[in-house]
Chains A and B, each alone.
Chain A
Amino acid sequence: MNVVDLGELGLDEGAQLLVKRALSSADRVRVVGTSPTLAIDLPAWCRARGHAFADGVVTRGTADRTVGAERAGSIDVAVDDPPARWGLAARGSLVEAGAPSFEIDLTLSHKPNVWADEAARLYAQAAAAQWDPATAIPWSAPIVHPDEVEDAIVQIMTYLIENETAALLVPARFLAKLHPHFREVMQLLAIQAADEARHIEVFTRRAQLRRDQLGLSTAGGQASLATLFDEPDFAIASFLLAVLGEGSFLTLLWFIRDHAPDECTREVARLAAQDEARHVAFGLAHLARHAQLDPDLHGRLAAAIERRHAALAHTSGLNEPVFDALVLLAAGSWEPADLRRGHLAVVKLVADMDAGRRSRLARLGFAPGDAERLSALHTRNFM
């Protein structure tokens, strides 16, 4: 018979691990030891676990909570339809049967609707590319441009903060409904939310460098963003937000990076654009995969753009204070020649955004004519 010697270690000090280890490979184990309370503790410990105990010998009981347990897929491969009963269990873990039914509404539980093979790589990239706003931005860089140009920058920051708030909250609402089995997607959406939190911080800090108050939040801008919150379908929401909205935003951030008069503004735009590019890449990747598996998806995405366009038809949509601020930012002064240059730059920006949207729509498999028509219907608020 197997013998386990606990030495001086008591069952109130961790010795039960030695007994369990011995019982894992033998039905009957003689337990010896010199703990003064061993003779009291061992029978009590055995009783609570259904093991029999007599004359120093523990006979393993039959209670085994792994009977009927199932593997929640495998560590590396997500299944198509993880059941809700796996709940929060780590993918690939052994899930005990009979857990209480999971009350959280995990409606995003069909792999084709959420998955992208690139998610793991994009998450790793995002984790490696996190930057510290305190040290990454040259907050003390000189600001020598005119006051009104600074006001324009503050207006642009006000607009960016509002839009990044939508970019944080819209995916976060889906994240809360995503089956945790899709670990890489969950991690990616979480780190995207952290990216947006950081962007909100740096845009706010930039606006505060020379001003105590922010600019105007327009009703049209809010109306445009509100339609993103109304969208219950993950594919459509990420199409509108990530591919069209953040895609356009990427062009906008590059514009600010290239035209801002001060180093600090250029740097916050450059770093934010770096992160946004990943968000767009994930949106494109999972929608491209989804579209391959679901031939109806293109029709639904196109209908969503048209629906959103119709919903926003009664609003001005165009965010004039932002448009003007972008012209002034690019102009850098009130000189007519500079304003002309700034205006031309903003017109080119709008054209670049359109080109970017059409190119992304083409990558998702839309024909050039459809891509052109749909891109033109995109909100004039950019996001």
Chain B
Amino acid sequence: MRELILGAVAYDAKVIPIWDGFRAWFAKRGLPFDYVLYTNYERQVEDHVRGELDVAWNSPLAWLQTVQRNPSARAVAMRDTDRDLTSVVLVRADAPYRALPDLRGKRVGVGAGDSPQATLIPLGAFAEAGVDVDAVKHDVLLGKHGDHVGGERVAVKALLAGDVDAACIIDGNRLAFANDGTLPPGSTRVLHHTGAYDHCNMTVLEHTAAIARFTELLLGMDYADPEARPLLDMEGLTKWLPGRTSGYALLERAVKRLA
């Protein structure tokens, strides 16, 4: 079988052990597999549509960019943790704000400029509510579409320091920041909660035997398998699910509105 090439964005040093691990795991199961790391999703999308990659491990924004360039793009798999995410708008607990319109003209801390979860979707919510805000971007590693959690952490710290009036982060990070001490108990409250959206997916543009085998192996990965479990833990999932593309409407709307 021809070697399957996957593209992924190196948002963190752990990306190398993750895909080295997958490479060994696939090889052991008879699928020749290699990967190419990109510094940004834009270049990965470009290479993918030019036929350099078989599979792209895409952010939701990269998925939209790909499908815009090639409408036959399909999502073959996604993590269980990629489905039905929401974002929250946090304000300080003692702030007088109760709803989005109260933040009109205020400084709203967001993540990286291209982060779907910490910037585009929350700002889309402000735009849909007809509320103009002064968006303060925290561009930690632009081009990574917010995969690096740094931007959200900086936004939260800016909120706690009083530098911004609100901060936008993904729902799970609110819990993570509470547990790691970034968000002291009772220091903030959730002012707004966005609708649900999906996150990353494995995007393909063709139907090949290698892609079919890749998808089959991925969906068969079992958390009970001690060889697979460390890879699943590092990649942040308990099982792969078939790709679905119904969860990107909110982001698509936000991107159009903010364009």
Contacts and interface: CB of A to CB of B under 8 A. Distances in A.
A96 B223 CA distance: 12
A39 B171 CA distance: 11
Nearest to A45: B175
A11 B80 contact: no
A43 B179 CA distance: 17
A11 B229 contact: no
Interface in B211-247: 223-224, 226-227, 229-230, 236-239
Given A12-B175, A43-B171, A48 B223 contact: no
A67 B222 CA distance: 11
Given A44-B171, A47-B84, 15 more contacts: A11-B175, A12-B175, A36-B190, A37-B189, A41-B175, A43-B86, A45-B175, A47-B172, A49-B238, A50-B238, A62-B224, A68-B224, A68-B226, A97-B229, A98-B227
B190 A47 contact: no
A64 B183 contact: no
Nearest to A16: B175
Contacts of A314: none
Please list the 10 inter-chain residue pairs (A to B) with the smallest Cβ-Cβ separation, ordered nearest first: A98-B226, A50-B238, A12-B178, A97-B226, A63-B238, A67-B224, A44-B171, A63-B223, A44-B172, A68-B226
A47 B179 CA distance: 17
Contacts of B227: 98
Interface in B117-174: 171-172, 174
B224 A64 contact: yes
Nearest to B81: A47
B187 to A, nearest CB: 10
Nearest to A97: B226
B193 A62 contact: no
Contacts of B86: 40, 43-44
Contacts of A45: 172, 175
B85 A47 contact: yes
22 contacts: A12-B174, A12-B179, A12-B183, A13-B178, A36-B190, A37-B189, A40-B190, A43-B86, A44-B86, A44-B174, A47-B83, A47-B172, A48-B236, A50-B239, A63-B239, A65-B223, A67-B224, A68-B224, A96-B226, A97-B229, A98-B227, A98-B229
Nearest to B190: A37
Contacts of B85: 44, 47
Contacts of B78: none
Interface in A16-74: 36-37, 39-41, 43-45, 47-50, 61-65, 67-68
Contact of B171 (A41, A49, A63, A100): A41
Interface string A83-124: 000000000000011101000000000000000000000000
Contacts of A63: 223, 238-239
Given A12-B174, A41-B171, A43-B84, A100 B230 contact: yes
A98 B231 CA distance: 10
A66 to B, nearest CB: 9
A62 B223 contact: yes
Contacts of A97: 226, 229
Interface in B66-100: 80-81, 83-86, 88
Nearest to B227: A98
Nearest to B185: A13
A40 B226 contact: no
Contacts of A48: 81, 172, 236
A44 B175 contact: yes
Nearest to B193: A40
Contact of B185 (A12, A47, A50, A62): A12
Contacts of A100: 230
A233 B178 CA distance: 52
Contacts of B239: 50, 62-63
